Structure 1
Amino acid sequence: MAASALAGLVSACAGTPVQTAASAPPVEAVPDTAQDAAQDTGQDTGERQIADLLSRMTLERKVAQLIMPDISSVTPADVEKYRFGTVLNGGNSGPYNNDFAPAQDWLKLADEFWDASTKPLANGEPAIPMIWGTDAVHGHANVIGATIFPHNIALGATGDADLIRQIGAATATEIEVTGIDWTFAPTVAVARDDRWGRTYESYSEDPARVAEMGVAMVEGLQGKPGADDFLGNGRVIATAKHFFGDGGTAQGVDQGEVNGDIEDLKEVHVTPYPPAIEAGLGSVMASFNSINGKKMHGNKALLTDLLRGDMGFDGLVVGDWNGHGQIKGCTNDNCPQAMLAGLDVYMVPEDWKALYENTLAQVKDGTIPESRIDEAVGRVLRIKQRAGILDGEVKPSLRENAGRWDKLGFAPHRAIAREAVAKSMVLLKNNGVLPLKENANIVVAGSAADSIAQQAGGWTITWQGGGELTNEDFPGATSIFAGLQQVGQSANADVTLSPDGDVASSAKPDVAIVVFGEEPYAEFVGDRKDLAFRDAEGLELLRKFKADGVSTVAVFLSGRPMWVNRELNIADAFVATWLPGSEGAGVADVLFGKAPASGTLSFSWPENCDGEPLNGPEGALFPVGFGRSLDDTKPFATLSEECAALTAGGASDWFAAGRLADRVKALSKGTELPDLRGSAGGIVARGIDRNAQEDAREITFGPGTALDLSGPQGGDAYRITYQVTQRPAGPVTLSSNGATLDISRELLIAEGKGWREMVLTPACLAGLSNALTIGSQAPFSIQISAISQEDAAEGAECSF
């Protein structure tokens, strides 16, 4: 980013610099005269610059400063026409609609947006440079080749604030390499119910630890106020999120309800914000959740009276993905309530044009006072000013770190990440098998052992992570297996990979390391009804090796503490490894004793599987602060393996909240569509928003195509929530177990009727099985938000 804002302001006041190919003109303030100085009312130079810019902006340009579209739906030409103040890339948005775009394309698009926003305007109206915000929540992990740091839950387990400052600084540099100015990090949520799908974005259940780590990350990203590099080169604008209560929702439901005495809630969930504000925090993101029945995006008492008044925050308040649309009486494209409540920037990924026009009309008719618009625009200008963006800064590709591809996945950054991995690992059990011995014959098992995507978790290249990602998508990164092999060489150990655990009887290993855990997820997709870990792959491998008389080390990947009593009982050593990111060698450093096992739990570990919130020692198998050293081999008492959740009749959801359930597959002509996204066999499936970000799919069929769905048998009927916006051009059929049903007429009737339910029973598809095919003879598109299996009442009819 630019040199310090103070230096830039002095330059701007000295006059207009000559414009060169490497420099755009500053957004100039009116020069002082001797008379002006004599009559100075005390406003500093920066505030006078902002007041001057506001005085010369049209209402249309002011409103545009408050609209943040997503790069997947806005072009540089749109930015030039409207002069939006900000853009973002969502979790599934890459330059030129390519999630896997090379780093060079990120910088190229940053330049195009910059150029569009700074083209001169008529009549002396200032051309305000735009800024780009990104979700760099564990490194600049949207970008291929970046260093991917452990997620926050792991960083909380390190207890090392200085290390987190280093991570913030490294992340800021890698963001700058691609020309981006602003990150929506750190998350300072205090997660109080680990069933929440964003638990791994929280440093701890302890507000004090969250506050300490949050400040460290803000200082790492932005620098410290008063320092020469504060928001200067090598620094970016930080965002504390989500204000407030996101981690305190009932039953851990993402975007849900937080209830209780407001002072008690503030004591937990507001605690991390004041120290972050004192550290110079640039922006705050409003939360999706409600507080005692009122959505935060529309809560003036909290967004304005508390955050601005009581807490003294003078930075920018930005919305979350269409969060304003969840306010009662609002839609994504029409919501004056949010602006009146204290939101400064609407994050409106797709409906930006209509929201812009509606907001402009609401200012003109007095629904929103122009003074409120001026206040919000002033805050946008102020954060740009503090970051040097208003002061003749060169366009992104000509800044100090831009295009320094050697600093993306930079070796010193990877070293910091590797250190963080090692320091975050929490040793829960060790009967003496660790540290691994020299000259040992070691087999590494489990499908996650050589999967960088799984060890990195969500918010990695794509929003949900995992899915179609392979190790080839992570150049320079190291899987856990590769790290073990690398570090094992120095210990003369023979380390081999066997994902399924099969080894020759003549080559019986001394130790088996079993790597297993949660599949990647993000946000509400990760919400759980309990904390029972169900995937049996790791358990079966541990049992197999035990039966063969082989010592075992369980390496558990997860975004939260989970009930793994069965695995804890059978393993000789058990390590909570969280989501370590791109540097799997950090795991090996601890297992081989090259680094100490120093991580301690920042969340209580559950003794039971029901998932009731744990925020202290009561009901905890291991309390906050627990962690063994490698020489701690105290006996481990056998744990109860009773878990009613494992045997109770569970939900038979096949597709819900934007995710396919475990063991449910979607294929087109034999090619898998992970989580029902992507293209194959003439079918294109893309995420759309129904009630939340990408919680539904739009599936477009080419002529003569079919979508094959299969999964565990959960009943003899299907229930599909769907919407038809345009009637099919030819026959559409459903097939299962040899039976076929033409539903073209039903879809024609459903056209334009909104979301509906389709219930398929044996009455119309005899002998429904655990496989269902949707076929179309002509081009056709359908939107689907849920698919489930259930037991139909005897004689139940089908319905559409």
Structure 2
Amino acid sequence: MKKRLMLAGLMAGLFLTGNLVNGQSNAEVEKIPEVEKLLKKMTLEEKVGQMAQVTIDVLTIGDTPFDTSEPLRLDEETLRKGIVDYKIGSVLNTANNRARTREKWHNIVSTIQKMAQEETRLGIPVLYGVDAIHGTTYTADATFFPQQIGMAATWNRDLVRKGGEITAYETRASSIPWTFSPVLDMGRDPRWPRIWETFGEDVYLNSQMGIELVKGYEGAENEVGEPVNVASCLKHYLGYGTPVSGKDRTPALIPDIELRERHLPPFRAAVEAGAHSVMVNSGLINGVPVHASYKMLTEILKEELGFQGLVVTDWKDIENLHDRDRVAKTQKEAVKMAINAGVDMSMIPYNFDFCDYLVELVNEEEVAMSRIDDAVRRILNMKHKLGLFETPVTHYEDYPKFGSKEFEDAAYQTAAESVTLLKNADNILPLSKDARVLVTGPNANTMRPLNGGWSYSWQGNLVDEFAGKYSTILEAIQNKIGEENVTFVPGVEYNMEGKYWEEIPGDLDAVAVAAKDVDYIILAIGENSYTEKPGDLHDLSLSDNQMALAQTAIESGKPVIAVLNEGRPRIIREIVPEMEGILHAYIPGNFGGVAVADILFGDVNPSGKLPYTYPMYVNTLVTYDHKPSENQAKMAGMYDYESDFAIQFPFGFGLSYTSFEYSDLSLNSESISGDDELTISVTVTNTGDRTGKEVIQLFTSDLYASITPDVKRLRRFEKIELEPGESKTMTFILTAEDVEFVNAELNRVTEPGEFEVSIADLKAKFTYTR
């Protein structure tokens, strides 16, 4: 079979910054005639300006770059300094970290583009970018979907693509053509505060959902010039999601073999899907900042993967090479390192020093003009493909579907399919609509944790200001069964005016008293909104306050149904046995409250599946695709070690209000070789009494290999809907390439030997021969 050599020679480690002169590379970039003509006209200063990106706060009226005066107004003097004097090519972000109306966005972007067109020599349009990551998160009245971890929990490709399409439409309605999404970091460490921005722990699930979101944003054929599409940005390349400490932007130690086996494939898949830009990992891997790695940015991304688009830094990360990481003795040296490594655009974001330094470096022959031309070509190519030269600003009046019921219905459907039923003792769920319930917990009556970070503001702290028309979990339950049947006692509340993790303990005695007069207790627990460094934590356990509230509910003797509204799986080991029901809602967006209520009371049959392994202990943070030695439960001899695979709920798990039976697993052959295809079929039957959706998950296991194989790996999945009594036979096709792995020589290979296919509790074996 075909073997793909993953390293062009094994002479150097993955993270060498490179010894090639002045960052020159062999990567060939598409040459568009209009761009090439423009490139020949440009001065060095004009080229360098295209590589600069500043935050909008720098260009507005205010006391400091961090504090824009309201109402938001552009400062003509500083705008002219940026656009005319420094010829900057890109602007990002939203002023004062808050959502704006479509009208305000149109006014701001139009003013910037007007100056670029009329007051610069070449009239090159500015490229505006924003973090539209689960909807157009900085535009008032936009449609909000579940965060990526919830989208992954749907296991529904169509819903993920539709979410991307709607987000693109509404982002263009906001006059913005570029979104910093999707996140393709691997969510393999529950401690990491950005795990909810990922598609979870699995390589294949991440790759498939990443493709769908790229196509949703950019169009089926990546026609980003269409006025309903935007350019996507893959982030954070590469290996950002598994720092040793679990805390954001802290060092990672990742062997080359692990980077290539787990972290690179989703980016490879999204690059092959046509993504137009990539954002760089802010962290260090094996002691080297990725922003300074020629090997990572040029040899692997641009040459090996053949990436044609632009590479942009993350926030202030060139400056961090000097200020934080201490690999550059000066800021000027930091610019040299990053640009020669392969960075095309610097998210500066607060000053114009980058431009001055880079001009000096080129004049001093420390950075080659060919490297500058390569970067600017990539930037101008994207602007050209986006249609900015012809239409630098789209107008909100041309987007009548913005915030429409059609879009809201899609967001609701995605939220409903994301919610995952983890426990349903004695089929206690769904509850009767005649039931009397006590709703308690800090997540019960606020929209903030339903939306999470990057929602109207960076940390999600402005959600209640913008999301008043939507229903909290409490309000949705009241609307469902009537206020007279619902008692609300918070028990614990978040300090909405302080740090996100601070909690205000409530009156637990009041909870106990209220429980006496109800049939069930709905316990809404989890986390408040956060992202990045503010989300770092020392302990993955659910807070003491919330655990005490849960114990109070349990001790009441009434059945307790927990609703987990959290961005990462908090440890709940002590209360799980006492819960009658557990729903995992993740961060479901503005329609999460309604989706939860509809599932609790049976209007929707839950169909979500876990996109990560839910841990049981803080020291058992192991993924499903572990090595066999991770599970040595009982060693021979007199000792019983705590060495089992102790998890709370497994990857891919999720219950339904109906039941499904799998049968007739069959393979078209017991042996394949070369480029043969293996056809696998299985029959799924709905054996319950209501319609339900089921996710068929196909795993393979390499039974013996030259390096220890993973216990199993997800290779295919499909979500289907079945009526009661209905059966469907599903067919999947695998090739040898689908079961290959990265060996000790960093080659992707499929070795001859025996493999096992598993779907649900069914298994079958096949052999691969060369």
TM-score with structure 1 setting the length? 0.68
Pick from 488, 494, 497: which aligns with 2:488? 497
Partner SS state of residue 544, structure 1: helix
- How far apart, in 1, do the equivalents of 2:195 and 2:90 lie? 28
- How far apart, in 1, do the equivalents of 2:92 and 2:465 lie? 26
Pick from 377, 382, 391: which aligns with 1:393? 391
Partner SS state of residue 209, structure 1: helix
- How far apart, in 1, do the equivalents of 2:247 and 2:463 lie? 30
- How far apart, in 2, do the equivalents of 1:263 and 1:423 lie? 35
Partner SS state of residue 241, structure 2: helix
Q: Which residue is equivalent to 1:429? A: 423
Q: 1:222 to 1:488 in 2, by over 3 A?
A: farther
Query: Deviations for 1:693-743, whole angstroms, at most 9, x for unmatched residues?
Result: xxxxxxxxxxxxxxxxxxxxxxxxxxxxxxxxxxxxxxxxxxxxxxxxxxx
- How far apart, in 1, do the equivalents of 2:646 and 2:31 lie? 54
Query: Deviations for 1:571-599, whole angstroms, at most 9, x for unmatched residues?
Result: 22111111111112111121122111111
Q: Could you tell me whether the CA contact under 8 Å between 2:129 and 2:177 is conserved in 1?
A: yes
Q: Which residue is equivalent to 2:574? A: 566
* TM-fit CA distance, 1:535: 4.3
Task: Work out the number of aligned pairs and report it.
Answer: 570
* TM-fit CA distance, 1:148: 1.9
Q: Which residue is equivalent to 1:105? A: 104
Partner SS state of residue 435, structure 1: coil
Q: Which amino acid aligns with 1:520?
A: S
* TM-fit CA distance, 1:621: 2.3
- How far apart, in 2, do the equivalents of 1:530 and 1:265 lie? 27
- How far apart, in 2, do the equivalents of 1:252 and 1:98 lie? 26
**Matching of residue 585 in structure 1 with residue 594 in structure 2:** yes
- How far apart, in 2, do the equivalents of 1:354 and 1:372 lie? 19
Q: Which residue is equivalent to 2:372? A: 373
**Matching of residue 513 in structure 1 with residue 513 in structure 2:** no
Pick from 25, 44, 47: which aligns with 1:62? 47
Q: 1:47 to 1:350 in 2, by over 3 A?
A: same
Q: Could you tell me whether the CA contact under 8 Å between 1:221 and 1:238 is conserved in 2?
A: yes
Q: Could you tell me whether the CA contact under 8 Å between 2:154 and 2:417 is conserved in 1?
A: yes
- How far apart, in 1, do the equivalents of 2:446 and 2:249 lie? 30
Partner SS state of residue 56, structure 2: coil
**Matching of residue 283 in structure 1 with residue 304 in structure 2:** no
Q: 1:330 to 1:410 in 2, by over 3 A?
A: farther
Partner SS state of residue 550, structure 2: helix
Structure 1: unaligned runs, 5 residues or longer: 1-42, 634-800
- How far apart, in 1, do the equivalents of 2:31 and 2:296 lie? 28
Q: Which amino acid aligns with 1:243?
A: Y
| Aligned ranges 1:27-42 → 2 under 5 Å | none
Q: Which residue is equivalent to 1:551? A: 559
Q: 1:332 to 1:447 in 2, by over 3 A?
A: farther
TM-score with structure 2 setting the length? 0.70
Q: Could you tell me whether the CA contact under 8 Å between 2:573 and 2:648 is conserved in 1?
A: no
Higher normalized contact order (CA 8 Å, seq sep 6+, divided by chain length)? 2
- How far apart, in 1, do the equivalents of 2:176 and 2:615 lie? 40
Pick from 467, 471, 476: which aligns with 2:464? 471
Partner SS state of residue 499, structure 1: coil
Q: 1:405 to 1:223 in 2, by over 3 A?
A: closer
Q: Which residue is equivalent to 1:144? A: 140
Pick from 230, 237, 247: which aligns with 1:243? 237
- How far apart, in 1, do the equivalents of 2:515 and 2:173 lie? 51
Pick from 138, 142, 165: which aligns with 1:169? 165
* TM-fit CA distance, 1:403: 4.2
Q: Could you tell me whether the CA contact under 8 Å between 1:79 and 1:117 is conserved in 2?
A: yes
Query: Deviations for 1:55-82, whole angstroms, at most 9, x for unmatched residues?
Result: 1111111100000000011253232332
Q: Could you tell me whether the CA contact under 8 Å between 1:177 and 1:404 is conserved in 2?
A: yes
Q: 1:627 to 1:301 in 2, by over 3 A?
A: same
Q: 1:44 to 1:221 in 2, by over 3 A?
A: closer
Query: Deviations for 1:183-241, whole angstroms, at most 9, x for unmatched residues?
Result: 00000011221111111111011111100000000000110227xx5441211010111
Partner SS state of residue 191, structure 2: coil
- How far apart, in 1, do the equivalents of 2:376 and 2:524 lie? 50
Structure 2: unaligned runs, 5 residues or longer: 1-27, 60-77, 322-326, 492-507, 627-644, 661-770
| Aligned ranges 1:194-343 → 2 under 5 Å | 194-225=190-221, 230-327=224-321, 328-329=327-328, 335-343=335-343
Q: 1:177 to 1:103 in 2, by over 3 A?
A: same
Q: Which residue is equivalent to 1:76? A: 79
**Matching of residue 47 in structure 1 with residue 32 in structure 2:** yes
- How far apart, in 2, do the equivalents of 1:267 and 1:506 lie? 51
Report the aligned-residue RMSD.
2.5
- How far apart, in 2, do the equivalents of 1:613 and 1:68 lie? 39
Q: 1:332 to 1:416 in 2, by over 3 A?
A: farther
Pick from 644, 647, 651: which aligns with 1:624? 651
Q: Could you tell me whether the CA contact under 8 Å between 1:323 and 1:347 is conserved in 2?
A: yes
Q: Could you tell me whether the CA contact under 8 Å between 1:487 and 1:588 is conserved in 2?
A: yes
| Aligned ranges 1:338-737 → 2 under 5 Å | 338-351=338-351, 353-390=352-389, 392-393=390-391, 395-397=393-395, 402-403=396-397, 407-431=401-425, 432-466=427-461, 469=462, 471-488=464-481, 494-500=485-491, 502=510, 508-537=517-546, 539-583=547-591, 584-610=593-619, 612-616=621-625, 618-630=645-657
* TM-fit CA distance, 1:406: 5.8
- How far apart, in 2, do the equivalents of 1:560 and 1:208 lie? 20
Query: Deviations for 1:20-41, whole angstroms, at most 9, x for unmatched residues?
Result: xxxxxxxxxxxxxxxxxxxxxx
Q: Could you tell me whether the CA contact under 8 Å between 1:104 and 1:403 is conserved in 2?
A: no
Q: Could you tell me whether the CA contact under 8 Å between 1:589 and 1:595 is conserved in 2?
A: yes
* TM-fit CA distance, 1:252: 2.0
Q: Could you tell me whether the CA contact under 8 Å between 1:196 and 1:247 is conserved in 2?
A: yes
- How far apart, in 2, do the equivalents of 1:326 and 1:505 lie? 53
Partner SS state of residue 604, structure 2: coil
Q: 1:205 to 1:98 in 2, by over 3 A?
A: closer
- How far apart, in 2, do the equivalents of 1:83 and 1:181 lie? 19
